[in-house]
A and B are shown apart, each in its own frame.
Chain A
Amino acid sequence: KNQVEQSPQSLIILEGKNCTLQCNYTVSPFSNLRWYKQDTGRGPVSLTIMTFSENTKSNGRYTATLDADTKQSSLHITASQLSDSASYICVVSANRDDKIIFGKGTRLHILP
Chain B
Amino acid sequence: NAGVTQTPKFQVLKTGQSMTLQCAQDMNHEYMSWYRQDPGMGLRLIHYSVGAGITDQGEVPNGYNVSRSTTEDFPLRLLSAAPSQTSVYFCASSYSTSGLNYSPLHFGNGTRLTVT
The answer to whether A95 touches B109, judged by C-beta atoms less than 8 angstroms apart, is: no
Interface string of A38-77 (1 = CB under 8 A from B): 0001111110010100000000000000000000000000
A-B contact count (CB 8 A): 52
A48 to chain B, nearest CB (A): 10
What separation, in Å, do the CA atoms of A2 and B2 have in the docked complex? 34
What separation, in Å, do the CA atoms of A22 and B21 have in the docked complex? 34
The answer to whether A95 touches B99, judged by C-beta atoms less than 8 angstroms apart, is: yes
Secondary structure class of chain B's binding surface, majority of residues: loop
Q: Which residues of A contact B98 (CB under 8 A)?
A: 98
The answer to whether B102 touches A89, judged by C-beta atoms less than 8 angstroms apart, is: no
Residue pairs across A and B with Cβ atoms less than 8 A apart, 20 shown, are A31-B100, A31-B102, A42-B109, A43-B4, A43-B90, A43-B107, A43-B108, A43-B109, A44-B90, A49-B102, A51-B102, A89-B42, A91-B105, A98-B98, A100-B45, A102-B42, A102-B44, A104-B40, A104-B42, A105-B42
Closest 9 CB pairs between A and B?
A43-B107, A31-B99, A93-B99, A102-B42, A46-B104, A104-B42, A102-B43, A98-B97, A42-B109
